[in-house]
C-alpha cells in the first residue's frame, strides 16, 4: 500500500493522509517535513512566501522512504513526482474554488499566493502532472467533506468504495 496524496495547497492532503494512515496503521510521510529534515530547500521565495525545492533530490528522498516502507502515505503537492513504479495509487484531492479561497484566506496567505493556488486548482495542475507521470490516479473532491475526524474518514472510505 504505497499511496501518494497530491492536490493544490488547502485541499486537505495533510488532514486526510494523517487520518487514513492512522486508521490503517501506515506511515504518513509529509513532504513539508522531509524538505525541512533533509534540507531540500533551495531558497525562500519572498513574494509567494514559499520555499523553492530541489525536486530531483526530493524525488530521490521520497523514493528511498517508499523502498524502506511499503505501507506508506506520502502527502504533498509534489508527491506525484515519484516514479509510478513505486506507487500503487495517486489520490488527487480537489476543492471548489470558493471553498479553497476561504481555506487559504484563513491561513492569511498573501493574495498573490492565493491567486496562484486557485489558478493551479482551475488548471487541475496536480492531476495533469500525475497523469503525465503515468500514475494510477483517483480524484476525490473534499469540498463538502466535514473536517471533523470521524466524518472525514467516513467520507473518504465512501468515496474510495464508489470508485474502486
135 binds, among ligand ATP, Mg ion, none (CB under 5 to 8 A by kind): none
Contact between 147 and ligand ATP (CB under 6 A)? yes
- Show the binding pattern over residues 30-49: x = contacts ligand ATP (CB under 6 A), - = does not: --------------------
**Contacts of 137 by beta carbon, 8 Å cutoff, 6+ apart:** 89, 90, 91, 92, 127, 130, 131
3-state secondary structure of 164: coil
Which of residues 2, 3, 4, 9 is near ligand ATP by CB under 6 A?
9
Identify whether the C-beta of residue 72 lies closer than 8 Å to the C-beta of residue 65: yes
| Strands of 2-7's sheet in order across | 27-30, 72-75, 2-7, 89-94, 137-141
Among 100, 91, 73, 88, which Cα is nearest to 130's? 91
Which of residues 7, 72, 74, 82 is near ligand ATP by CB under 6 A?
7
Q: Could you tell me the smallest distance in angstroms from the CB atom of residue 14 to Mg ion?
A: 3
- Show the binding pattern over residues 63-92: x = contacts ligand ATP (CB under 6 A), - = does not: --------------x---------------
Contact between 11 and ligand ATP (CB under 6 A)? yes
d(CA 135, CA 141) in angstroms, rounded, equals 18
> Which residues bind to ligand ATP, rule: CB under 6 A?
7, 9-15, 77, 103, 142, 145, 147, 152
Amino acid at each position: 500500500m504505497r499511496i501518494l496524496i497530491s492536490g493544490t495547497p488547502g485541499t486537505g492532503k495533510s488532514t486526510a493522509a494523517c487520518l487514513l494512515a492512522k486508521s490503517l496503521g501506515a506511515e504518513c510521510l509529509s513532504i513539508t517535513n522531509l524538505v525541512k529534515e533533509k534540507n531540500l530547500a533551495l531558497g525562500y521565495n519572498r513574494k509567494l512566501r514559499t520555499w523553492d525545492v530541489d525536486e530531483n533530490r526530493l524525488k530521490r528522498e521520497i523514493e528511498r522512504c517508499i523502498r524502506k516502507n511499503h505501507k506508506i502515505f506520502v502527502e504533498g503537492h509534489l508527491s506525484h513526482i515519484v516514479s509510478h513504479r513505486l506507487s500503487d495509487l495517486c489520490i488527487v484531492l480537489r476543492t471548489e474554488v470558493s471553498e479553497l479561497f476561504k481555506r487559504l484566506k484563513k491561513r492569511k496567505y498573501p493574495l498573490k499566493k492565493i491567486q496562484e493556488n486557485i489558478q493551479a486548482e482551475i488548471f487541475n495542475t496536480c492531476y495533469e502532472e500525475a497523469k503525465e507521470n503515468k500514475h494510477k490516479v483517483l480524484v476525490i473532491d473534499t469540498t463538502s467533506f466535514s473536517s471533523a475526524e470521524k466524518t472525514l474518514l467516513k467520507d473518504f472510505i465512501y468515496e474510495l468504495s464508489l470508485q474502486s
